[in-house]
Amino acid sequence: MTDSPRVAVVGFGHQGEAQALNLRDAGWQVTVGAREGGASGARARALGFAPVPPAEALSGAAWAAMLVADEALPALWPALSRALSSGATIVFAHGFNLLYGALEFPGADVVLVSPTGPGRVLRQSFERGAQLPAYVAAHRDASGHALESAERYARAIGCGPLWRTTVREETEVDLFGEQAVLCGGMNALVTAAFETLVAAGYAPEIAYLECVHQLKYLADLMHERGIKGMREGISGTALYGDLTVGERVIGDPSRAAMRAALEEIRSGAFARGWMAEAAAGRPMLDSRQRAAAAHPIEAARKRALGEAGAPMAGA
């Protein structure tokens, strides 16, 4: 292998931007593949890349990072796969399409390199000289060295320690984490807490500050010290409430809902539902997102933080 590998980064979203920048800074020759006339291509040019159509980017590249959105890749894959160079190592950041997308691959290594954080965090860590843990797996090992290639790529984008796993484990655990905690569970929990306080007559701004705004500080403490360390950093009153009430809020019904969600992921029901929704143009998803954006919690946030133009309570 050369000291300066040529890599095509297809897709310039959150992960694509961060990985392209990190690879370039690590000395790799990076070609960005982006749709002509799109916002991502303009952003890539502003960052010093010379984006080209995705299929053109893949021509001659020894590495191909497929960082297109999960729902968009299957339709693009036939054209992309035909453009791949013989023997190119194909890199995915998430196993969704490897597990559910029914993609066909040429005779090449196909690997998973999944950073445990969004693209902006990966980039910030790289710029600080720090690393972000990542999962690595070999989906297809044509060369006999696919896992080693995955680890080489992971180190180049600034990841470590590296945890060897399988595509199925990464995909199922990632989907479950997003649904039960990181997105679905967290958003539902803070919204329900806000609604409970407001329904009881408390000011929406105070409810927002207490149940949403302060979450970051406790999450940062947990991130730095773990659950044990976070508990050591809070007051005795907060600790008593934590250990006596938390298990009532997240009790047997919540655990049963988590088990049901995990089973839907493992059976493929979640993937089928999401792919059908995406194919239909996301009508349910967009409707629910619009409704959530109009929730009183959003106006309370603006007032609580003193954002310009936010109406005062009671106005």
94 has catalytic annotation: yes
Peptide bond between residue 161 and the one before it cis (omega within 30 degrees of 0): yes
3-state secondary structure of 194: helix
Distance CA 136, CA 113 (A): 5
Beta bridge partners of 163: 135
Distance CA 158, CA 20 (A): 11
3-state secondary structure of 30: strand
Selected catalytic residue, list 14, 94, 213, 223: 94
**Residues identified as active-site:** 94
